[in-house]
Structures are given as C-alpha cells and as structure tokens.
Amino acid sequence: SQQGEEDPQALSIQEGENATMNCSYKTSINNLQWYRQNSGRGLVHLILIRSNEREKHSGRLRVTLDTSKKSSSLLITASRAADTASYFCATEGASNTGKLIFGQGTTLQVKP
Amino acid sequence: GAGVSQSPRYKVAKRGQDVALRCDPISGHVSLFWYQQALGQGPEFLTYFQNEAQLDKSGLPSDRFFAERPEGSVSTLKIQRTQQEDSAVYLCASRGERGGFLNNEQFFGPGTRLTVL
C-alpha cells in the first residue's frame, strides 16, 4: 500500500506560471524525494530533501518539508511546456534501506 | 550502458503463462530494486537486493512472484501462472555508493509493460 497522498491529482497551467504540488506521508522518514515521469518512460530523480532540512532549491525547483505535519511541497517556477509530466513524491524510511514509498502522483499539464 | 536497462520493454502473456523480466543495473551499483506500477498509480515496492542478497521481499504480492540476482549484477523478476491483475509496468532501479556510503538517489529503467490477457 502506498504511503503518500498527493494533491492535486491533476493540474493544468499556462506556460510561465508556477506549479505547486503537495505530498503528505504517514511515518517517520530519512528523506523525501521527488521524481518526474514522462508518459511511457521511467522515473527521473529531481530533488531530495533530508528529514533535518526544511527547504531546498535546485534550478527552478523548490522543495519544502514539514516533518511536524508530515508534508512536503514541490514548487516549479516559470513553468515550461516541457515540464508536462507526472510528479511523484517518495519517502525513504528511517531504516535507510533505500525502499521508497511513492505517492499516487500529480499530473501536470503546462499549456504553451 | 550509461543507465538502467530493462527487457523486454513490452510483454503480452496469456493468463497462466510464466514470464521473466530482466534488469541490467548501472555497472557497479550495489543496490537493486523492483517496483510495480499500475495504470494511473505510483510505483509500489516489490523487492530489494544488496549485491546478490535479497534483503527485503515484503512487497511481492504472492508466491507466484520470484526475483533473483545471482551474481550481484543482472536481476530477473519471474512471475509464474500470470493473472490479469499482474498487468502493470515493472520498474527496476539501482543505486550506487558515494564515499563509501549508499547514495540515496535511485536510477530507474524504462520499465517493462506487462499485459496479461
């Protein structure tokens, strides 16, 4: 069973706008990761935030983590049509074995 | 190759047939994971290897599912007597070490789409 809940399930925006996706989880974590999946392709790692971090940036991506609320958000700024994909959060538990528990994902459509 | 490869990319099986899905991880990567992704869902963990040792198989749905990695590199996921509910994309991922510590980032293959008729 999946641990993560993501919202919204689907998001449609215009190019240039910002996109925000949220993720909630249930148990203690070592880290939380965000992945992107283009239609029919494998997952690509975007960014990782550790349990002792609150915010992290990578290019146009900004991730926040609130361990007290067991939630995270992914912000994509100045979106591009190429950002159209499904985005998944995934948590790695405190045991740090590498086993990832994924959310159900947010499908993002960026209209040119 | 530079990335994780999986074969076949697509597999159609009749209900009751056995299938074998192959994963070639990134060379030298210690850890290998299998995930199952149903249509419209996120991936779900199946099993995990560290080198040739299968350390966690808690996600395998039934005893019809079997995975091996005999030499600590290539892995095979075998599904016996396939059922329609086994239809999904099967993803393989690997991760290596950095500075003697396991890197948290997993590198995923393109997946094998299994359709059971």
* Residues of chain B with C-beta less than 8 angstroms from the C-beta of A101: 45
> Which phi and psi (to 5°) does residue A15 adopt?
-55, 135
Return the number of CB contacts < 8 Å for A and B: 62
Q: In this structure, are strands B75-79 and A71-76 parallel, antiparallel, or unpaired?
A: unpaired
Residue A1, pLDDT > 80, answer no
The answer to whether A97 contacts B105, with C-beta atoms less than 8 Å apart, is: no
The answer to whether B104 contacts A92, with C-beta atoms less than 8 Å apart, is: yes
Residue to mutate among B32, B56, B108, with most A CBs inside 10 A, is B108
Give A7→chain B minimum CA distance, Å. 13
Residue A111, pLDDT > 80, answer yes
Mean pLDDT of A22-30: 92
From A49, which residue of chain B is nearest by alpha-carbon distance?
B104
Residue B117, pLDDT > 90, answer yes
How far is it, in rounded angstroms, from Cα B1 to Cα B27?
Answer: 8
The answer to whether B45 contacts A92, with C-beta atoms less than 8 Å apart, is: no
Residue B60, pLDDT > 60, answer yes
The Cα-based distances of B69 to A27, B27, B49 in angstroms read 30, 14, 7
Residue B18, pLDDT > 80, answer yes
Report residue B11 as tokens: 């597999």
Residue A81, pLDDT > 80, answer yes
Mean pLDDT of A78-88: 96
Give B48→chain A minimum CA distance, Å. 7
DSSP assignment of chain B: --S-EEE-SEEEE-TT--EEEEEEPPTT--EEEEEEE-TTS--EEEEEEETTEEEE-TT--STTEEEE-TTSS-EEEEESS--GGG-EEEEEEEE-EETTEE-S--EE---EEEEE-
